[in-house]
């Protein structure tokens, strides 16, 4: 088939590098321009030495003209930068944004958590999202030319809990989520608390009290699944590992629901999904089993004593949590098979 | 002063070794017998090569006569083994049990979670526990000759959340806890999922659905703080670090309570405690900051949007979570200053 | 093209699982039988939960008849088991052995380090090995039906140092190697010193004094590069990471040789190699940059003060160090392009 | 006894914090001023939250007058800053410098590796150093008022190899050392390659080719042990752990020497040392066994095949490698028992 020429804007960060790692494996993609901000002019591999195969690439400035002649552009920019660039790109160019700018449909939710102007919303890039009205998030992505890739935490939490809300076996209020993320989720910014010396061997929370920016996106997704407003107590924690999110999510069981009905809700939601796996009863998801892959591992159980369902999901925050999802959306947008270039198991042990 | 002669029963495991590490630092303790089960006959340092200063010690069989002439015996045995041994020890000998056998006051709670006969309950070794009726858990320990050291998770969860229950600023029902533990919490048993190859870089839950044995102990403590029955949804997870527990605990805010009132409840509960520290607002506890120490770091915040309090505690599961607490109880039981041999900061970075 | 039907014997270990991970990505391979020893009868994913896509597979007993109808069989068995099985497989079946049994050409070297009978030697699976007589190890592998995959340490050490020996810019005697390996190199055996609790945060040597079994294989390879006998002081160490080898190798500089000549020897040795990369001066190889990939990163420098060359290589012990090499050899043996199914960058950060 | 009032200059870095951690445990020390450079004015615990017990301390500017009235000052400053400050401190004040400024006795060695003027040399703070003429480095430290604490690598390498040189069982030329260090050795500076995301799961070398600044100090120490010039090929590597150094050191065996003679040389060198331990044959040092302690674990073996001795030492780079040594020197300088405040086992697992 025609090779898609794909550029990456913001290739000096971890998300941009991971997009390139996936594009290198994609059989129908030719990697075009790679751009950066302050790192423009450097070689790509001076910053990302693992990208063998792209040793000759120089990071260019992120200006619209650089993307002329590309079929698609993946944006991996700091939040607040995507709208201006996207406005200058041709309508027919597929733009897939890994940033937050176009994820939220509610302007108030945006302005409560972000300090830049609201930019609007694009097709939301979570094909597997089970919807209250039936169907999934996939339909909105087929043939889309503007796609907002979900945040890493929202991907994990949404996939963990949405089946129970869509099937009305858990209550929509009083959802509690505690999630652990690897350090790459904090990006490549150099801050003392992200130094290896401080991170290794240490767990810590951050954003206690519902202040994390991913909260409204989680609520938006779970509300779409429930068909009614869902509010979430969300506490993110930092774990001593480079990659991976483990999201532990609990919601109150709808009285009278059996454990079998719960399990069936999850099983049917994902039975045809290539990347989302409800594990056999008695086995627990690990972030190791999805490392470097586009897979999601999920388990769900009922705590009868307290009347709560506990659902846990493991994802790779940079893969299915960001760049793998971007490529999955790119496939849907450009009419290729959804799994092209995304197959393959996680790197374990 | 008179040197206390202290023995350790079950010194081949991680808990027993950690008790010895603390006793080595105690100015008023002489280390007596060290015993083991299947490892009896081996040198102590062939199993625990970090215990410099005890290179000449041979692990003896765990039989009562070995403990003749000791002022105190610390038990670090598999559950179900403490009662028989304790029955053979003189009443005047101080016995401090790091195991679960004598922690639960309710026989039904024991039999629901354990497979050995109920042994009764001893003075509960959490001096800092704020009680509903006022005061703390300290009084019961002064001069006690039989003490049950709390489990590591119950220590972290209880200290995190009890102030709010004792002050009636959070609701006693619908408590949700997700806690991450380092791998030493699983002991020295060799199982594939505890191999370094499988653990490093990986987070995973275990015991999803309220089945962890520490659940009734957590509920017992929180109920003592609240003065009414507390039920808890508890999910433990395994984190890629050798030591440390980070417990993220949420409970519903009593309507009308302000954030200042919440903060004040925690501050006053621990203002005179030498080992429990409520951090300055805006800073988060890390397990690194308490590594190898008897300190506990706590933070609390209110999530107004969802009406929940989030309290987080960091402890070293083997130190304040087990062996440090054992020495603290030993001090209280024998009339020494409570902090003797326990001072000192965590090993960071 | 014709799909190759490939079986894996010994799929319950880390090496076997990694072979499957690579075969899943290979466009021209159909995965056939997967077998095990004591784990026969279990599902593959109960042991290796990351192998999504093979959830339906049951581990069969490792008997020759299981492999009927396969084009190739990859062996990942404990040492001493390959010969008997290989003898029962048809001559035309390509057999690629990840074990040690057929690596050594010298019977005395074998019997000095191993306790099972000498089985002979097969084509040695290191295509990139520069030979004293010119050319590389590739020729012997094209069309071979029996191939011995190199050990992980020998791969790293040989690729690091062989160019200097082949170009006669370093002396063949007095080679000193210290290498650090991730814990997966020790396999999936459960031993206390391999527990996560003991490994995380810890470096330790093992096999001090030249007793590691990979020593004669390293000497065999370096001797082939030098055209004369090379002896090596080899000390392996265990590093707190699941995967990766960093081999630091030093040899005495041939007097009068310049740093440029040294660098040129390495550059020319690998200039046409797709997987072996001599890094730009001033950058250092990291095991992270090759994680999960078939790439090798190498740097070399001259220490003029002491007259030694220092060459360092980073490989993934399970990938290029074992399973990636096995697939590379399979490609060469079956006439496919050597890089088929092996492209792609490491998983970083 | 009289409490010593001790200040720490440069308390915002890892070395300064570790000095404070040890001083907190010292029974005869009162902690005086704590100072910093750009962090002056901040609270100490905002930077080092593990230092419970010092929550009220504010970092002062590092000016000489701050240290009035102190018995001793420990310097933990960037290199090049110690001389000017020390010149302003009273001669009778004990000054212990954790930096490099006063370690080297040879001006040329200094100027080859450092870019600031040569400041001279002070008493060298390695009491256990076995000297060629007999005796140890301890004598020079008793009653000293100016002490240079050794570098972390030199401590590990010197203690590993010096016994063999002092006993003339290994050759002084052609020493090869490869050492792995935890990341705290690189300090608290924020650089991308020290981020947790890049460090965890990764080994890498740095300073290939004999360019590391600790090289001349290692050679100075080993030459003092040998009684003749020793040159060393030294390659440092970065390991994925916060603390710890594992130094693997090899030297050529003096022909005709037996393995027993080698072992005896090491045993006798350290038989009376409280902190340096030659392990039983067949056991290997681990950095975990000395974590947070002032102990050093050493093993030595002979590789008869190649005629080399391999000696390996494990130390905690911040403890015995820096701050523990500083306190040990402080004890010797002020006439206290050498081990005061330094006893205690490492934090393992």
Q: Note the pLDDT of residue A39.
A: 97
The beta-carbon neighbor of C183 closest among B188, B196, B242 is B196
Asked if A183 lies within 8 A of D190 by C-beta distance, the reply is: no
Quick one: closest CA in B to C239, which residue? B196
Residues 180-209 of D with CB under 8 A from C: 180, 182, 195, 197-198, 200-206, 208-209
Q: Tell me: the pLDDT tens digits for B187-208? A: 998 899 999 999 999 999 998 8
The residue among B30, B91, B46, B88 whose CA lies nearest residue B63 is B88
Interface test with D, best of C208, C289, C299 (most D CBs within 10 A): C208
- Sign of the dihedral defined by the CA atoms of residues A79, A80, A81, A84, in that order: positive
Asked if D200 lies within 8 A of A199 by C-beta distance, the reply is: yes
Asked if C180 lies within 8 A of D239 by C-beta distance, the reply is: yes
Neighbours of chain B (3+ CB pairs under 8 A): A, C, D
How far is the alpha carbon of C106 from chain A, nearest alpha carbon, in Å? 34
Residue C208 confidence class, pLDDT cut points 50, 70, 90: confident
Both structure tokens of A135: 């169907």
Q: Note the pLDDT of residue D1.
A: 57
- The lowest-confidence range among A93-102, B1-10, B147-156, C58-67 is B1-10
Residue by residue, what is the 3-state secondary structure of chain B? Answer: CCCEEEEEECCCCHHHHHHHHHHHHCCCEEEEEEEECCCCCCEHHHHCCCCCCCCCCECEECCHHHHCCCCEEEECCCCCCHHHHHHHCCCCCEEEECCCCCCCCCHHHHHHHCCCCCCCCCEECCCCCECCCCCECCHHHCCCCEEECCCHHHHHHHHHHHHHHHCCCECCCCEEEEEEECHHHHCCCCCHHHEHHHHCCCCEECCCCCCCCCHHHHHHHHHHHHCCCCCEEEEEEECCCCCCEEEEEEEEECCCCCHHHHHHHHHHHHCCCCCEEECCCCCCCCHHHHCCCCCEEEEEEEECCCCEEEEEEEECCCHHHHHHHHHHHHHHHHCCCCCCCCCCCCCCC
Q: So which residues of C are the catalytic ones? A: 152
Asked if A305 lies within 8 A of B210 by C-beta distance, the reply is: yes
Asked if D301 lies within 8 A of C209 by C-beta distance, the reply is: yes
One-character DSSP codes across A65-114 = GGGTT-SEEEE---TTSHHHHHHHS-TTSEEEE-SSTTT-S-HHHHHHH-
> Helix, strand, or coil here: D168?
coil
The beta-carbon neighbor of C312 closest among D205, D239, D349 is D205
Per-residue pLDDT of chain D (349 residues; tens, 9 = 90+): 589 999 999 999 999 999 999 999 999 999 999 999 999 999 999 999 999 999 999 999 999 999 999 999 999 999 899 999 999 999 999 999 999 999 999 999 999 999 999 999 999 999 999 999 999 999 999 999 999 999 999 999 999 999 999 999 999 999 999 999 999 999 998 899 999 999 999 999 998 887 889 999 999 999 999 999 999 999 999 999 999 999 999 999 999 999 999 999 999 999 999 999 999 998 999 999 999 999 999 999 999 999 999 999 999 999 999 999 999 999 999 999 999 999 999 999 9
Interface test with C, best of D152, D178, D287, D317 (most C CBs within 10 A): D178
CB contact set of A7 (below 8 Å; sequence gap of 6+): A31, A32, A33, A34, A35, A66, A67, A70, A72, A73, A74
Interface test with C, best of B48, B186, B195, B242 (most C CBs within 10 A): B195
D343 touches chain C (CB under 8 A): no
Quick one: closest CA in B to C189, which residue? B192
3-state DSSP percent of chain C in helix, strand and coil, to 5: 30, 25, 45
Q: Note the pLDDT of residue C209.
A: 82
Determine the average pLDDT of the residues in A163-184.
97
Q: Note the pLDDT of residue C190.
A: 86
Other beta carbons within 10 angstroms of residue A30's beta carbon come to: 13
Asked if A235 lies within 8 A of B248 by C-beta distance, the reply is: yes
How far is the alpha carbon of D245 from chain A, nearest alpha carbon, in Å? 14
Asked if A314 lies within 8 A of B204 by C-beta distance, the reply is: yes
Residue C1 confidence class, pLDDT cut points 50, 70, 90: low
Asked if A348 lies within 8 A of C292 by C-beta distance, the reply is: no
DSSP tag of A254: P
Instruction: Calculate ∠ Cα A286-C323-A284, nearest 5°.
Output: 10
B348 touches chain D (CB under 8 A): yes
* Cα(D284)–Cα(D290) distance, integer angstroms: 12
> Helix, strand, or coil here: C53?
coil
Contacts of C297 in chain A (CB under 8 A): 49
Domains of chain B: 4-121 (3.40.50.720), 153-317 (3.30.360.10)
Determine the average pLDDT of the residues in C10-27.
97
How far is the alpha carbon of B232 from chain D, nearest alpha carbon, in Å? 30
Asked if B195 lies within 8 A of C196 by C-beta distance, the reply is: yes
Per-residue pLDDT of chain B (349 residues; tens, 9 = 90+): 589 999 999 999 999 999 999 999 999 999 999 999 999 999 999 999 999 999 999 999 999 999 999 999 999 999 899 999 999 999 999 999 999 999 999 999 999 999 999 999 999 999 999 999 999 999 999 999 999 999 999 999 999 999 999 999 999 999 999 999 999 999 998 899 999 999 999 999 998 887 889 999 999 999 999 999 999 999 999 999 999 999 999 999 999 999 999 999 999 999 999 999 999 998 999 999 999 999 999 999 999 999 999 999 999 999 999 999 999 999 999 999 999 999 999 999 9
Quick one: closest CA in C to B198, which residue? C242
Q: Note the pLDDT of residue A98.
A: 98
> Helix, strand, or coil here: C141?
helix
Size of interface A-D (CB pairs under 8 A): 64
Q: Tell me: the pLDDT tens digits for D165-209? A: 999 999 999 999 999 999 999 999 889 999 999 999 999 999 888
How far is the alpha carbon of B191 from chain C, nearest alpha carbon, in Å? 6
How far is the alpha carbon of D240 from chain A, nearest alpha carbon, in Å? 8
State the average pLDDT for chain D.
Answer: 96
Quick one: closest CA in D to B23, which residue? D344
For the entire predicted model, the pTM comes to: 0.97
B12 touches chain C (CB under 8 A): no
C220 touches chain D (CB under 8 A): no
């Amino acid at each position: 088939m025609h090779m898609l020429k794909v550029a990456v804007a913001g290739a000096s960060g971890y998300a941009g590098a991971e997009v390139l790692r996936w594009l290198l494996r994609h059989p129908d993609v030719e990697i075009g321009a790679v751009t950066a901000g302050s790192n423009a002019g450097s070689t790509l591999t001076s910053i990302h030495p693992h990208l063998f195969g792209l040793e000759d690439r120089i990071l260019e400035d992120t200006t619209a003209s650089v993307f002329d002649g590309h079929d698609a552009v993946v944006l991996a920019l700091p939040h607040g930068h995507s709208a201006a660039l996207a406005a200058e790109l041709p309508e027919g160019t597929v733009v897939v944004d890994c940033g937050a700018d176009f994820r939220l449909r509610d302007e108030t939710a945006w302005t409560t958590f972000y300090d830049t102007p609201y930019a609007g919303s694009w097709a939301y890039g979570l094909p597997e999202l089970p919807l209250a009205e039936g169907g999934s998030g996939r339909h909105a992505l087929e043939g889309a030319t503007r796609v907002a890739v979900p945040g890493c935490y929202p991907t994990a939490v949404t996939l963990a809990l949405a089946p129970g809300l869509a099937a009305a076996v858990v209550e929509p209020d009083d959802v509690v989520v505690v999630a652990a993320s690897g350090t790459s989720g904090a990006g490549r910014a150099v801050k003392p608390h992200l130094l290896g010396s401080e991170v290794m061997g240490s767990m810590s929370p951050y954003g206690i009290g519902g202040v994390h920016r991913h909260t409204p996106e989680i609520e938006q997704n779970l509300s779409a699944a429930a068909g009614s407003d869902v509010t979430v107590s969300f506490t993110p924690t930092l774990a001593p590992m480079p990659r991976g999110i483990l999201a532990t999510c609990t919601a109150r069981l709808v009285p009278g629901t059996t454990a079998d009905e719960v399990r069936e809700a999850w099983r049917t939601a994902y039975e045809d999904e290539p990347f989302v796996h409800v594990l056999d009863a008695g086995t627990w998801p690990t972030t190791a089993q999805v490392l470097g892959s586009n897979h999601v591992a999920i388990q769900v159980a009922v705590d009868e004593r307290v009347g709560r369902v506990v659902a846990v999901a493991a994802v790779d925050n940079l893969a299915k949590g960001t760049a793998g999802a971007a490529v999955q959306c790119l496939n849907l947008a450009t009419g290729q098979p959804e799994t092209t270039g995304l197959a393959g198991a996680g790197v374990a042990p």
